[in-house]
Amino acid sequence: MQDEYRTVARAGVHETEINRSRFLCSLAPAATEEDAQAFVAAVRKEHADATHNCFAYVIGADASVQKASDDGEPGGTAGVPMLQMLMRREMRYVVAVVTRYYGGVKLGAGGLIRAYGGVVGEALDALGTLTRRRFRVATVTVDHQRAGKVENDLRSTGREVRDVRYGERVEIEIGLPDADVPAFEAWLADATAGAARLELGGEAYGDA
């Protein structure tokens, strides 16, 4: 697994006009290729009257899935520059759809490449990006007497508390980078006089 990846902070639309053509870049996070395809379909439906709805998406922290479509523009002038912009910005789990309403002035191949790639870059700048880092899901099991203080200490030191479950004992689920595990185990033993148990689970990604 990659240690971290970047993605778009939120879904949104950025619009620009180039030689009387309107370019609308719709961006969204996409956890799976199915999510990306559904977003593309939704934008195409919303802008069914547009001249073109070109798209590009990158799925996987290692960019294992990359797809692009020119949707009727000359080959390689729309989807590919969009995809190249996403890759250049090291974006992952993201889908971009650029909707073009033709304004009567031809841009030429070079102009199209600059327009489609450029509007994706502008949209990323406008909507913002965030970095997600790899961590291990860990569960701290502690008695009720100590649980409140442990949870407060975890939050005050910036740990991501993902879930708290109450039963015979309290289970506090956190995100823990692998490199932090030894130091965290020592801290937990000290903070609870050895009364807490730490169980390491699978890996996931969270906000940096």
Q: What is the pLDDT of residues 72-109, one digit of tens each?
A: 999 999 999 999 999 999 999 999 999 999 998 999 99
Run of H or E residues at 179: none
pLDDT digits (tens, 9 = 90+) for 143-180: 999 999 999 999 988 888 889 999 999 999 998 888 88
69-72-75 Cα angle (round to 5): 65
- Cα distance from N-terminal residue to C-terminal residue, the chain: 16
SS3 50: coil
Residue 208 pLDDT: 54
* Domains in the chain: boundaries: 4-127, 132-207
Q: Candidates 3.40.50.11540, 1.20.210.10, 3.30.70.240, 3.40.50.300; correct CATH number of 132-207?
A: 3.30.70.240
